[in-house]
């Protein structure tokens, strides 16, 4: 989705540490879903740093492991009651809600999905970032910015796994 329209997902640039590599790299990437299906089966990275500029790497997911594709995550976002209520509320006030491009970001052995939400005033031309939605595939969280959304996502993950973080551990020294 982009805004209200369902469009083909275009490749995008990110800086990430590829699996099995020691340092971050600037890559062009795109996720792959099978024809007529929604789950993600692989992602392709095109390296943009020298000396490997232009090299392509395909990362395939095990067939027995279900990895949500972009449209499945969009559906999970649409089904989240908190997000749905917020989008409806903003849309009723004469503003236009713009859903930004969903990014599928590989991190170590997992996938992080990130989608910005923008609001454009009825008479305004420039949209303003209002919220950021993140998902790890199983949970969907919304926050005022990326840090807030990630904090909520990881707090839920830690609670579900029985991990307790004390106030002392929260403080960066």
Q: 79 by DSSP, 3-state: which?
A: helix
Instruction: Read off the pLDDT band of 8 (50, 70, 90).
Output: confident
158 vs 125 pLDDT, higher one: 125
Residue 2 has pLDDT above 60, yes or no: no
Instruction: Read off the pLDDT band of 161 (50, 70, 90).
Output: low
How far is residue 135's CA from residue 138's CA, in Å, rounded to a whole number?
Answer: 7
pLDDT score at 79: 93
pLDDT score at 159: 61
Q: Which tens digits make up the pLDDT trace of 95-141? A: 889 999 999 999 888 899 999 999 998 887 889 999 999 999 989 99
Q: From residue 170, how far is each of 73, 135, 151, 156 by CA, in Å? A: 30, 22, 11, 15
How far is residue 7's CA from residue 89's CA, in Å, rounded to a whole number?
Answer: 25
Mean pLDDT, residues 131-154 taken together: 94
Helix (H) or strand (E) holding 140: strand 140-143
- pTM metric for this prediction: 0.83
Q: Which tens digits make up the pLDDT trace of 13-59? A: 999 998 888 899 999 999 999 888 889 999 999 999 999 999 999 99
1 vs 22 pLDDT, higher one: 22
Distance of CA 22 to the CA centre of its chain: 23
Residue 163 has pLDDT above 80, yes or no: no
């Amino acid at each position: 989705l982009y805004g209200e329209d369902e469009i083909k997902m275009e490749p995008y640039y990110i800086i990430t540490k590829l699996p099995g590599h020691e340092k971050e790299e600037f890559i062009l990437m795109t996720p792959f879903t099978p024809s007529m299906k929604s789950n993600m089966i692989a992602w392709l990275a095109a390296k943009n740093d020298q000396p490997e500029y232009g090299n392509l790497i395909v990362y395939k997911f095990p067939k027995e492991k279900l990895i949500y594709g972009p449209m499945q995550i969009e559906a999970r976002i649409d089904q989240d009651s908190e997000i749905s209520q917020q989008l409806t509320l903003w849309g009723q006030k004469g503003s236009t809600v713009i859903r930004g491009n969903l990014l599928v970001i590989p991190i170590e052995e997992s996938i992080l999905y990130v989608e910005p939400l923008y609001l454009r005033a009825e008479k305004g031309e420039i949209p303003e970032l209002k919220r950021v939605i993140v998902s790890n595939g199983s949970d969907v969280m919304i926050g005022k910015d990326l840090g807030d959304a990630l904090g909520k996502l990881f707090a839920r993950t830690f609670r579900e796994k029985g991990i307790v973080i004390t106030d002392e551990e929260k403080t960066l020294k």
